[in-house]
Amino acid sequence: MKKSLNTKVSAKKIALCALFSAMALIAFSIESLIPPIVIPGAKIGVSNIFILLATICLGYPYGIIVLIVKVTLGSIFAGNISSIMYSLPAGALALTLEILLLQFAKKVSVVAVSVAGSVINITAQNVVFCLVTKTSAYLCYLPYLALIGVVSGIAVGFAVYLCVKLMPNSAFTLSASTHNKTEE
Amino acid sequence: MKAEDVERLKLKKPFSVSDIIVYAILTLFIFSLFLAFVILPKNTKSDGFKVTINDNQAFVFEYETGKLTVDGNFYDRVFYNETTSTITVYHTADKTSFNVIAFDRQNKKVWMEESTCSHTKDCVYSPAIESDAGMIYCAPHQLKISPISPSGALPPVIG
C-alpha cells in the first residue's frame, strides 16, 4: 500500500514537472521569435516563470530538471545550439542563488528572489559568453543587461507571485499529504 | 512543501522589508558595473574594423583609406560592394550561408546588416560599433567583428 501511494505521487509530480517543462519550452520558443530588447540576449525570460514555479511547488530538483529541459530543447528548437554553452551555466548559477534565497532567506519575497536570479542569470550569461568567445569587448553591455535583468526579474517575479496565490494548495503539498497518508 | 509553508508562502506580499537588503546589494552591483564599463573608460573612434572567423583573421577594413585587406584563405569568400558599403562573407560554397556586414566610413561605424545564422539573429540586432570598444559576434557562424583602435592595438582578449 505504502509503495503504491508513493508511486502515485511521484507520477503526479513527474506529470506536473513535465507540464512546467513543456510550458517553459513553449514560452522560450515563442520568445525566441521576438527580436531582443535593445541589446542581443536581452529578453524578459517568460520561461523563467515556470522554472521558479517548479522550484517552489515541486522542489529544487524539479526546478533543475525544468531548467535543463528548457535550455537544451529550447536551443535546439530555436536553431542556436551554441547558446547552450552560456545559457546552461548561467541558468544553473541563477537557480542556485534563487534556491539559496528561498531556503535561507525565507522573509525575502518571491519578486526579490526573481530579480536577484534574473540579474545574476543575465550577467553570468554575458560573462560566460565572453569567456567562450575569448573576448572582453562584450562586457561593455553588462551594465545595461543587468538593468534589463531587473525589469525582467520584476515581471517574472510578479507572475510567479500571482500564480502562487491562485494555484490550489494541492499543487504544493503533494509530498506532504502523501507522507501523512502513508503514515496513517 | 509542508501545508504551513504553503500558507506562509501564499500570505506573503510582493514586497517585504527584507527585500531592501537584496535590492541594495543589486543596486551596488549594477552601479559598480556602470562605473567599470561605462563611466570610467574613455572610448575614442576606431580606425576600422577586423573580422575573424573561427579565431582566424578573415579581413581588415580601414575607414580613412577605404582599404580592405583580405587574408588569402578567405579570398574567395569575401565580397566587397563599394556602392552599398557592404562586405558579404560566405560560409558555404553554395552561398546559402552568409553574413552581410555594413559600414559607414564617414561616421566610422560598422554593423551586421544580414545573417543566415538562426531565426533569432542576435548579431543583426547588436548595436553598431562606433568606438574602439564593443564587438559583434555571430555565434553560429563564429564570426567576430571587432574595432581597430587608433593606436593600432586591439582590445584586450580574455580567456
Calculate mean pLDDT across residues B43-48. Answer: 84
A41 touches chain B (CB under 8 A): yes
**Rounded-to-integer distance, Cα A111 and Cα A117, Å:** 10
Q: Which pLDDT does position A77 carry in this prediction?
A: 84
Comparison of pLDDT for A82 and A112, the residue scoring more:
A112
- Residue contact A108–B19, C-beta within 8 A: yes
In Å, what is the CA distance from A34 to each residue of A41, A44, A147?
Answer: 11, 10, 19
**CA pair distance B98, B96, nearest whole angstrom:** 6
Cell of A30: 515563442
> What pLDDT sits at residue B151?
56
Confidence of residue A9 (pLDDT cuts 50, 70, 90): low
Please determine, for residue B9, whether its predicted confidence score (pLDDT) is greater than 90.
no
Task: Tell me whether B158 touches chain A (CB under 8 Å).
Answer: yes
Q: Assess whether pLDDT exceeds 50 at residue A149.
A: yes
3 state DSSP class of B115: strand
How far off is chain B from A52, nearest CA to CA, in Å? 13
Q: Which grid cell is B46?
A: 576606431
List chain B residues with CB under 8 Å of A119: 26, 29-30
**Whole-number pLDDT of residue B92:** 87
Q: Which residues of B touch A108 (CB under 8 A)?
A: 16, 18-19, 21-22
pLDDT of A4 above 60:
no
pLDDT tier, A180 (very low <50, low <70, confident <90, very high otherwise): very low
What is the predicted pLDDT for the residue at B159?
A: 35
The answer to whether position A2 is within a domain reads no
Residue A16 to chain B, least CA–CA distance (Å): 15
Query: Contacts for B85-89 with beta carbons within 8 Å, 24 or more apart?
Result: B86/B113, B87/B51, B87/B59, B87/B61, B89/B51, B89/B53, B89/B58, B89/B143
The CA angle B36-B39-B42, to the nearest 5 degrees, is 95
Give the mutation candidate from A138, A151, A158, A175 for the B interface (greatest B CB count, under 10 A): A138
- Out of A81-85, A172-176, B30-34, B124-128, pick the least confident: A172-176
The neighbouring-strand residues paired with B61 are B49, B68
Stated length of chain B: 159
CA–CA distance from B34 to each of B28, B94, B132, B144, B157 (Å)? Answer: 10, 45, 18, 24, 20
What is the CATH architecture of B48-148?
Answer: Sandwich (2.60)
Residues of chain A found within 8 Å of residue B139, distances taken between Cβ atoms: 80, 82-83, 133
A157 confidence band (pLDDT: 50, 70, 90): very high
User: How many angstroms from the chain centroid is the CA of residue B133?
Assistant: 10
Q: Which amino acid is at B84?
A: T
Looking at beta carbons, which residues of chain A come within 8 Å of B9?
Answer: 56, 110, 164, 172
Q: Is B16 within 8 Å of A41 when comparing Cβ atoms?
A: no
Q: What is the DSSP letter of B129?
A: B
- What mean pLDDT is predicted for residues A114-124? 95
Beta carbons of B115 and B141 less than 8 angstroms apart: yes
Instruction: Give percent of chain B above pLDDT 70.
Output: 91
- Confidence (pLDDT) at B70: 92
To the nearest whole Å, the CA of A149 is away from the closest chain B CA by 10
Query: Taking 60 as the threshold, does the pLDDT of residue A83 lie above it?
Result: yes
Angstrom distance (rounded) from CA A34 to CA A106: 35
Nearest-Cα distance to chain A for B11, in Å, is: 8
Q: Following DSSP, what letter does each residue of A80-125 receive, concatenated? A: -GGGHHHHHHHHHHHHHHHHHHHHH-TTS-HHHHHHHHHHHHHHHH
ipTM: 0.83
Sequence-separated (6 or more) residues with CB below 8 Å from residue B9 = A56, A110, A164, A172, B1
User: What pLDDT does A179 receive?
Assistant: 43
Whether residue B119 and residue A175 make contact (CB cut-off 8 A), yes or no, is no
Confidence band, pLDDT 50/70/90 cuts, at residue B1? low
| Predicted local distance difference test score (pLDDT) of residue B2 | 66
- Among residues A38, A119, A29, A43, which one has the least CA distance to residue A75? A29
Express as a percent the part of chain A with pLDDT over 70.
87
Give the residue on B whose Cα is nearest the Cα of A102: B9
| Whether pLDDT at A178 is above 60 | no
Task: Using a CB–CB cutoff of 8 Å, tell me whether B156 touches chain A.
Answer: yes
Calculate how close chain A gets to B107, using CA atoms only, in Å.
20
Window B:26-55, CB contacts with A under 8 Å:
26, 29-30, 33-34, 37-38, 41, 55
In chain B, domain spans: 3-39, 48-148
Can you give the pLDDT at residue A129?
Answer: 84
Q: B99 pairs with which residues across the strands?
A: B89, B115
- A184 domain residue, yes or no: no
| Euclidean distance between CA atoms B131 and B134, whole angstroms | 7
CATH number at residue A133: 1.10.1760.20
The larger pLDDT score, comparing residue B42 to residue B62, is at: B62
Question: Quick one: pLDDT at residue B157?
Answer: 40
How far does B59 lie from chain A, in Å, by closest CA? 18
- pLDDT-based confidence at B49, cuts 50/70/90? very high
Q: Is residue A88 part of a domain?
A: yes
pLDDT category, A116, cuts 50, 70, 90?
very high
Per-residue pLDDT at B62: 92
Looking at every residue in chain B, the average pLDDT score rounds to 85
E-strand spans in chain A?
none
Cβ-in-10-Å burial (0-12, 13-18, 19+) of B127 comes to middle
Residue A99 burial by Cβ neighbours in a 10 Å radius (0-12, 13-18, 19+): middle
Partners of A59 on chain B (C-beta within 8 Å) are 1
Answer whether residue A6 shows pLDDT above 60. no
Report the distance separating Cα B69 and Cα B59, nearest Å.
Answer: 5
> Can you give the residue range of the structural domain that contains A77?
7-176
Mean pLDDT of B87-109: 91
The verdict on residue A112 lying in a domain is: yes
Query: Do you know the residue count of chain A?
Result: 184
pLDDT of res. B35: 93
Give the sheet arrangement for strand B98-104, strand by strand: B78-81, B86-90, B98-104, B109-115
Q: Which residue has the higher pLDDT, B44 or A101?
A: A101
Q: Which chain A positions have a beta carbon within 8 Å of B13's beta carbon?
A: 109
Please give the tally of structural domains in chain A.
1
Q: What is the pLDDT of residues A13-70, one digit of tens each?
A: 889 999 999 999 999 988 888 877 677 777 888 999 999 999 998 889 999 999 999 9
* CB-based contact A84:A75 (threshold 8 Å): yes
